[in-house]
Structure 1
């Protein structure tokens, strides 16, 4: 029976996989659909109801952290395939009064019973499709603890008041968002799992489709009343643990002690220069901040401003820098509480200058290899590892600036769209532990991203802030899309900082990313005209649907301008 269920799931997933160019989301807007300008404060998020919840908090005098709690809780209802309290995230916060920028790490952790061979069976790595809907894939959720920690330190409004908008929406119901309707229709695997049939498919069949979740509303009431304790202890925790441990096949090993022991971690962001700006992002266990800074550091050696947006040479240079950054990412980055990540060496300007020398403007490198910070730009091929593995493409991002100039960039996720296909308390459970390496060894030594008890899997989430020479915020942004996030963020940064595009126009440009194996260009976009030229340079080029979910805010002389990705349902708005 168990083997038959997994086989059915595999067939359905393969049958439901989107064909390049087939989805409406693959058609690129040539101009932004939704933008906003404001003098005082702004929210840019992937759903208008979430934006309005954040704006109402700001209008009442709340700050960016207060608004972030409200926005995130609403997104957990209306955008639940991507994010929610059953997952985790990274919150980058800039405090205007002190000038300090802080990263709150709410990444999920592996249960204490986890072992390095968690995703191996009979000596072989499990296929990703088999691991995703298993109990073994579910990490201890960190989003609630992260929000509570940030709010405890910086919030000004009552915690319970900030959750009220999400409770009301989940209780009363809303018209099902267009994006969610599309996701349900395109994901045939939802037919296999009872939780998905009973919640998503049943409600999408209504005429017109309407989304209601009274069980989630009750869960949120408990959070409003008792805070994080309601989630990590008591009946909600017991139900979550039971759901994970009774999943068949491949049941999980999470315990009540794992939940009770979870702690969000406050970390220093990773920051570095790019031309006249300072760019700050998420440190390990996210690879996003390092990779973004590495790519920018290599591109700084090239006159990117001379190359037009969407030009073949720009695509080539960004792709080559990305390949080198991803090679370093695979070799070095993991949870810093378990592995020694050479962060300063990886973003050292001298090291990046040497790495940039490996980029040939006339041809693609046959193979991108990692370097050795502080010693050499390229290690011997015999010692290199190129074990890139296709990753899923979920996640959500929003950006906020308040009237005092405080800033939030919050990227959150349950990993794959619809996570582990399990629900508890009205919310989806993550499959974030599939972000670990399925092979515990790399070149005969422990992989930096191998599974370990209590360890946080490596992430690609990339909330980013850019500051000018006076320390004033220039830009805040982030994206969705799994390991493609890094490329989406870099493309937008170059578009705004080098090509001087307004942020909304930059977001609407076609996507392209290189994660180490192939150069992906957004299906149906004008970039396909460069395919022949890029292949002549030595790139392997493919078209892919890429729903980047970029949401950003930039400073203008009049105040703020926001941009919402036209590939999603969101908006940017403010007062």
Structure 2
């Protein structure tokens, strides 16, 4: 592996909220060494976007669970404490490695399209995309997949009954947790939409006024929904009282769900995308995610270059050009493999990557319109990710979402379940950008039961001396953040440095490079502009989308096989994230 690119300053993270809590991030990455012979309380590393979720995973490990039980606990707890980002009304992807069998499996719990949600439903009287209908309220919601994933992972791979792995989430939903700044700001941004719906008002205005930072936020209806899931498994959510309330809640607001299509939801187990890069095996997300295919293309385009040895502007130029080409193919070819023929063998072939590499000018930007080719029938920050490794070598990378801030804004009355607005991730009108500025065509058009294309990219990296798990929210920027994280690990960075890496992004259209504030030195920005790149710097006016000051919430853990230590990194951009480490004797101080 290549030498480290740079030393990064690391931010202190939120201190523990529960007695079981492990290390918060520090000046050096948090590390744990498994205790010899420890079996009842094995070593584990967990990195998640909220301390309570990390603690829930550690609690379940302490009760005898494995990484998969911990994943159920972390996922369910994030569904309680991060309604801004994910929840039982959304979906997600679980990338699993079962150490006993050596098998990697991808659990696809992406939401599916209701039968009534035809493209015509989303057009206004002039034939234009009705943005309000596509991102707000009942028509924006797909059939949720996350509860089915929790049941599937627990029953197929876990050691503990679902009732034990869901217990922390149920407790926190009932007893409440302190509202944090991002949640309060997100509610303020979505308040007008959320307060249209009585079910949402009953949850978020329960005390008579708006959600405020520091107040205790309790969700008794959600606690009861989780209890029914714990008691009844799949049928406890997708059939019976909960399912009826979901259907009634959607249809009362003008949507068209049926009990049959809710009960008909199923997760899919898929073979991950697998390829090599710089001595690492990369295992990552297949369609209905676009992330793994794009990651394979970008890394295979870049592999012949020794990026660490190049001047920074030249390195960024090459990485951006790889991004540009992968996102162009994403637009044209990717969709739900149960409905469309995705040319996986071609898109992930090193020879195809070599052909794309040959079109890159070493010192000039390629205008995106030159890559459009034939007129082939030409995600938000508010997603969440967690990473887990246990002492048996089991590992989980999971990314879950409700799409935009607080999803559709619609809570089905009596359930506490905030529904997603993932229908906007379909190509509802071919060639019209969605909320993230990306377009799609027939491969990603809605059909009954079809999964919408996603950018979520949970990823494993495996080398002879190290294993890493990483992923992040960030809409279409997810894929490029994971790319930069992979390059960071390949360059020798530790887990916390990878989580803190500065970020830049290009997605083919709009034809502009977005960068975080201070991610690139001014001279590098000017050099890139001299090469023909449009670079959007926070605070400056630019072409295409303006850059955010920062984005993403990367969570990563790694296992050093040489000295048998675990470490984790949580994104310093998110003050409530946490790395939790447990050795064979319990949580580390």
Same fold (TM over 0.5): yes
Q: Give the equivalent residue in structure 1 for 2:531.
A: 537
Equivalent in the alignment of 1:460: 455
What does residue 360 of structure 1 align with? 361
What corresponds to 2:320 in structure 1? 319
For the Cα contact (< 8 Å) 2:133–2:140, is it kept in 1?
A: no
Q: CA deviation at 1:454?
A: 1.0
Counterparts in 2 of 1:529 and 1:196: CA distance versus 1, 3 Å: farther
Are 2:579 and 1:572 equivalent residues in the alignment?
Answer: yes
Task: Determine the C-alpha separation between the residues in 1 that align with 2:132 and 2:9.
Answer: 35
Q: 2:403 aligned to 402, 415, 418, which one? A: 415
1:491 aligns with 2:470: no
Which has the larger displacement, 361-370 or 167-176?
Answer: 361-370
Aligned mates of 1:428, 1:321 — CA distance in 2:
37
How far does the alpha carbon of each residue in 1:139-170 deviate from its partner, in whole angstroms, 9 at most, with x for none?
Answer: 01011111211221111011101111111111
Shift of 1:533: 2.0
Partners of 1:301 and 1:353 within 8 A in 2: no
Residue in structure 2 matched with residue 171 of structure 1 by the alignment: 174
The structural deviation recorded for 1:224 is 1.2
Out of 468, 472, 476, the position equivalent to 2:469 is 476
Shift of 1:175: 1.5
Cα deviation 1:282-335 (Å, max 9, x = unaligned): 111110111111111111122112137xx2222221111011000011110001
Mapped contact 1:203–1:209 kept (Cα < 8 A): no
Structure 1 residue aligned with 2:38: none
Which residue of structure 2 lines up, in the alignment, with residue 45 of structure 1? 48
2:295 and 2:397 map into 1 onto residues whose CA distance is: 15
**Cα 1:527–1:141, aligned 2, differ >3 Å: closer, same or farther?**
farther
Residue pair 1:323, 1:368 contacting (<8 A) in 2 also: no
| Alpha-carbon distance in 2 for matches of 1:552, 1:119 | 38
Which residue pairs with 2:422 in the alignment? 432
CA–CA separation in structure 1 for the residues paired with 2:478 and 2:494: 20
How many angstroms does 1:128 deviate by? 3.1
Equivalent-residue separation in structure 2 for 1:294 and 1:429 (angstroms):
33
Shift of 1:267: 0.5
2:228 and 2:499 map into 1 onto residues whose CA distance is 38
Structure 1 residues 343 and 403: alpha-carbon distance in aligned structure 2, compared to 1, 3 A threshold:
same
How do residues 279-298 of structure 1 correspond to structure 2 at under 5 angstroms?
A: 279-298=282-301
Name 1:150's counterpart in structure 2. 153
Residue in structure 2 matched with residue 507 of structure 1 by the alignment: 499
Aligned residues of 2:500 and 2:571 also touching (Cα < 8 A): yes
Aligned equivalents of 1:63 and 1:208: distance in 2?
A: 33
TM-score by length of 1: 0.86
1:491/1:307 CA distance change after superposition, 3 Å: same
- Partners in 2 of 1:574 and 1:161 — Cα distance? 20
Cα offset, 1:524, TM superposition:
5.1
1:10 aligns with none
- For 1:167 and 1:153, the matched residues in 2 are separated by 22
Counterpart in the other structure of 1:224? 230
| Cα distance, 1:441 vs structure 2 | 7.5
Report the 3-state secondary structure (helix = DSSP H, G, I; strand = E; otherwise coil) of the residue aligned with 1:423: coil
Report if the CA contact (8 A) 1:117-1:440 is conserved: no
What is the distance in 1 between the residues matched to 2:304 and 2:520?
Answer: 27
Q: What is the TM-score normalised by the length of structure 2?
A: 0.84
Instruction: Tell me if 1:138 matches 2:141.
Output: yes
Structure 2 stretches lacking a partner, 5+ long: 1-7, 13-24, 34-42, 433-439, 539-546, 583-589
For structure 1, the 5+ residue unaligned runs are: 1-28, 371-379
Local SS of the residue matching 2:368: coil
Displacement after TM superposition at 1:553 (Å): 0.8
Q: Conserved in 1, the CA contact under 8 Å of 2:388 and 2:395?
A: yes
Cα offsets for 1:422-450 (capped at 9, x unmatched)? 012112100111100022479xx961001
Residue of structure 1 equivalent to 2:18: none
Counterpart in 2 of 1:211? 217
**Are 2:104 and 1:104 equivalent residues in the alignment?**
no
> Paired residue for 2:244, among 220, 238, 248?
238
User: What is the deviation of 1:191?
Assistant: 6.6
Q: CA deviation at 1:503?
A: 1.9
For residues 548-570 of structure 1, give each alpha carbon's deviation from its aligned partner in whole angstroms, at most 9, with x where no partner exists: 11000112234111000111111
Aligned length in residues: 524
What secondary structure, in the 3-state scheme, does the structure 2 residue paired with 1:125 have?
coil
Structure 1 residue 455: deviation in Å?
A: 0.7
Question: 1:414: Cα distance to partner?
Answer: 0.6
SS, match of residue 476 in structure 2: helix
Quick one: distance in 2 between partners of 1:149 and 1:441? 36
